[in-house]
A = this chain, B = another copy of it.
Amino acid sequence: MTGVNREIHLASRPDGWPTGENFRLVETEMPKPGPGQLLVRNQYMSVDPYMRGRMNDVKSYVPPFRLDAPLDGGVVGEVVASEADGFAPGDVVLHGLGWREYALVDAGSARIVDPGLAPVTAYLSVLGMTGLTAYAGLLEVAGMRPGETVFVSAAAGAVGSLVGQIATLKGAARVVGSAGSAAKVERLTALGFDAAFDYHDGPVRHALKAAAPDGIDVYFDNVGGDHLEAAISALRPHGRVAICGMIAHYNAAEPPAAPRNLALLIGKRLTLRGFLVGDHGHLRDEFVREMSGWLREGRVSYDETIVDGIENAPAAFLGLLRGENLGKMLVRL
């Protein structure tokens, strides 16, 4: 394999909202696999909100992206050359070196997926980390039980839309979602949410009160800020919050001051718990079995927003942060 490879580098660290200037498209030489390595032609790459955190130079649960080096993240692609046992050209693999057209992957970091069982993009979304995040956060971290009322923010996003559907399938009495446009609210209703609102239409606490007048038991947080404050006010005794993300905080120069009502945690005996999907790998088999069944039976739907071309990957990521996606945001390479 010869020719030119293209990849996206981090050109500078964003201060607040990122812009196109923070990224650089770089042409590099086509890599050659050494022993135990694969050369993969990447087909679909994931852009995710958590990547914003990695653009800052701070210690966190994953190391920050390096300047003048390619970004990385979840991706599926086709093996074009293999120097590793168990992998052959034509295999479709899931691995972690996105943000580039071709990737040199250690075989131990790649997992073969079956494009006959599900579209390859599903391994990045509904059947992959995205789906497991929704499943583990709702059922294990928040411990949702049948008969409870569940609220999820960024509900038209990849994780949020699955949280709402899983909640209903697992017996929630009422599922409420918030989203950022009328079209998204309409989509949530179509997905089976019992109530949904556009958070631009007024204070979240008012909208949530109207959507769940008797309160909520579980809040799946993707947003933070005023959403979290409103949820804390709406939670019933012994309510739980699974904190998956706080997208309202990621680009704020000053972190949002809310929630100001944390003292309610005491009297209502509330639990707030942050989580990372990586701690919940023990649920993967159960999750894949259940989710595959729901997909087969047509009981779960998932949306994808697909942007074409590696040169547009930064724009796809910026669009994700602005909420321009419905469901999973992917880049086709």
Contact = CB atoms under 8 A, between A and B. Distances in A.
Interface in A52-94: 53, 60-61
A17 to B, nearest CB: 16
Contacts of A263: 224, 246, 249-250, 255
Interface residues of A, number: 36
A279 interface: yes
A148 B269 CA distance: 24
A247 to B, nearest CB: 10
Contact of A271 (B237, B268, B271, B279): B271
B275 A60 contact: no
Interface string A243-266: 111100110001111111111111
A263 B274 CA distance: 8
Contacts of A262: 224, 228, 243, 246, 249, 255, 259, 272
Contacts of A243: 262, 265-266
A270 B266 contact: no
A183 interface: no
Contact of A245 (B250, B266, B279): B266
A276 interface: yes
A267 interface: yes
A273 interface: yes
A265 B271 CA distance: 12
A266 B276 contact: yes
B275 A272 contact: no
B261 A255 contact: yes
A273 B271 contact: yes
Contact of A279 (B228, B265, B269, B279): B269
Nearest to A246: B263
Nearest to A249: B263
* Closest A-B pairs by Cβ, 5 of them: A265-B274, A257-B257, A61-B267, A266-B274, A255-B260
14 contacts: A53-B267, A60-B267, A61-B267, A228-B262, A244-B266, A246-B263, A255-B260, A256-B260, A257-B257, A257-B260, A266-B274, A269-B273, A271-B271, A271-B274
